[in-house]
Structure 1
C-alpha cells in the first residue's frame, strides 16, 4: 500500500470574504515518492492549491496534513522545510548577485553552518549541472539555466517534496525538456515526491498520476491513461490534448492500425516504427 505524504480533506478557500470560492471542498492525497500532476485551465484552482500545500495560504475550511504536520500558523515553517517550491518565473526567485549566493539564500534562512552550506551548494548545483556557473550573475543565464538554479536552491534545503508551479511555462521546448528531465532524474536518485502544477497535458502525461481541476473542484483523477480516456471532455473544460494523442487519433481514423492513442512522442514513434518493420 502506498504511503500518503500529503492529505487534503474538504478544503475550501476564498481570497476575500465576498469573493467566489477559489477551492470548494477539495480532497486528495499525494503518495510518497510519486510524481503527481495537477492540471487545469486558468482559474481552475490548481495554483491556489499549490500555495496551500506549501503553507503560503491557509484554508478557510478543511484540513491539510503535510509530512505528519497539520497545516496551521504554528506549523507553517516546519512544513516549508519539507516542501520546496519552484515558481513560473525564475527571475522572481533570485535574490543573490551570483548563482552561489542565490543557492545559499535558503540555507542561510534555516541557519545551516557555513561548512555544511558549502557542501550543499556544491552538491545541489552539480545535481542540476550548474556547478560551473557558481560565480555567474543569474540574469546572464538562459531561461532553462535560471530554472535549474531555482531548482538547485530548493534542493539545497533538502525538502521531501518539490512543487513545480507552472515551472516550465515560460521556457522554450529545449529548456522545458532540460528542466523536466533534471527533476525526473533527481526524483529517481533522491526519492523525492514531485507535484507539478501545469496546464500542459503533454507534460502531465509523463506523471504517475493526474488530478484535473475545474472551477475550484476536483474534476477527475487517475493514471494518465485513465484521465485521457475522457478525451473531448477535457477539451470542453479548456484543456488541450497532447499532440501525440491527437495525432494518434487522426492516424487511426486514416486507417493506420495503431493499438492505442499515445500520450508521448516516444510511444507513438516506437509503434509506427514497429508497424513499418512488419510491412
Structure 2
C-alpha cells in the first residue's frame, strides 16, 4: 500500500443549492490495496461521498481523481470503469433469471467477448464461492448469497475499486459475516481496493483504516485502534461502539483487569481465558 488510487480534494456538494451542503470541504485519500471504512450516522454524508466516488454525482466544488482520472461530466464513464458498487438491497440488483445471467450482464454491457465472458464468470463466481449456483434463480438464494453474487457481478468486470454502500445492513449476522469474509479474502489476495460505507462500527473495525463522517464533514480518521479511542465522542455523534469494546469497558468498571480495548470477540475471549488460567 502507499500508492494513492483515489484523491478527493476539498469537495463540497449540495442536493439543492438553498439547502445546507451534504458534503462540505471534504478531503480524503485512498491507497491502492487497502480496505477503508467510511462510517457515520444517517445524514452524515458517507453515502453521498460514495456516490461521488462512483461518478453518480459530481461535486459543486473541489476535485476528485480516481486512478489518475479527474471526475467531470465528461469523464463519468471512465471513472465507472475503475469503480464497482454493491448497494444495500440485493433484491434490487438482479437483472438476470439465473446467477450466471446476472454475472454476465455487466460483461455484456462492456462488450466483453463470449469466450472471455465465460472465463470471467467462472473466475468471479469461484472467488465468492458461488460457482455451484450458476443455474439457480437469484430469488431462491439467501441474503448473504445474493450479495456474494452481486459482488461477483462487480469483480467480473475487473474494477480497481469496489464500494460497499451499506451492503450488509439488510443481512442477518451469518449473511453479514459471509459477505465481509468474501470481501476480506478478495482484498487480501490483492484483487481489490475496498471502500465500505457503513454505520456499523463492528464491521468497520475489520478495515485497515476508518474515516468518520459527521454533518457532511470529516470528523475523525485513523486506524480502528486510533478511532475507537475517541470512545464517548463517537457515541455523542450517534454511533454505537462495537460490542466487544463496550464489554471490555464494562468489565474494567467491575474490577476485572482487562488490559485491551478489544475490537473482536475472539480477542476479548482470549484475554478472559488468560486471566482465568492465572486465577
Structure-2-length-normalised TM-score: 0.98
**Match runs of 1:46-85 below 5 Å:** 46-85=46-85
Q: Which residue of 2 aligns with 1:131?
A: 131
Distance 1:43 1:70 in 2: 26
Tell me the C-alpha RMSD between the 2 structures. 0.9
Q: 1:274, CA displacement in angstroms?
A: 1.4
Q: Which residue of 2 aligns with 1:274?
A: 274
Cα shift readout 1:17-53 (whole Å, capped 9, x = no counterpart)? 2222100000010011111000000000000000000
Q: Say if 2:22 and 2:215, in contact at 8 Å, map to a contact too.
A: yes
Q: 1:261, CA displacement in angstroms?
A: 1.5
User: Structure 2 unaligned runs (5+)?
Assistant: none
Question: What is the DSSP-based 3-state SS (H/G/I as helix, E as strand, rest coil) of the residue aligned with 1:275?
Answer: helix
With 253-262 and 31-40 compared, the bigger mean Cα shift is at 253-262
User: Structure 1 unaligned runs (5+)?
Assistant: none
Is 1:159 the counterpart of 2:159 in the alignment?
A: yes
Q: Say if 2:36 and 2:196, in contact at 8 Å, map to a contact too.
A: yes
Distance 2:224 2:190 in 1: 24
With 25-34 and 71-80 compared, the bigger mean Cα shift is at 71-80
**Match runs of 1:1-279 below 5 Å:** 2-279=2-279
Q: Where do 4+ consecutive residues of structure 1 move more than 2 Å?
A: none
Distance 1:64 1:176 in 2: 30
With 201-210 and 69-78 compared, the bigger mean Cα shift is at 69-78
Cα shift readout 1:75-126 (whole Å, capped 9, x = no counterpart)? 2112111111000001111111111111001101110000000000011011
Q: Say if 2:33 and 2:190, in contact at 8 Å, map to a contact too.
A: no
Question: What is the DSSP-based 3-state SS (H/G/I as helix, E as strand, rest coil) of the residue aligned with 1:33?
Answer: coil
Cα shift readout 1:227-251 (whole Å, capped 9, x = no counterpart)? 1111111011000011000000011
Q: 1:224, CA displacement in angstroms?
A: 0.7
Question: What is the DSSP-based 3-state SS (H/G/I as helix, E as strand, rest coil) of the residue aligned with 1:6?
Answer: strand
Distance 2:91 2:105 in 1: 14
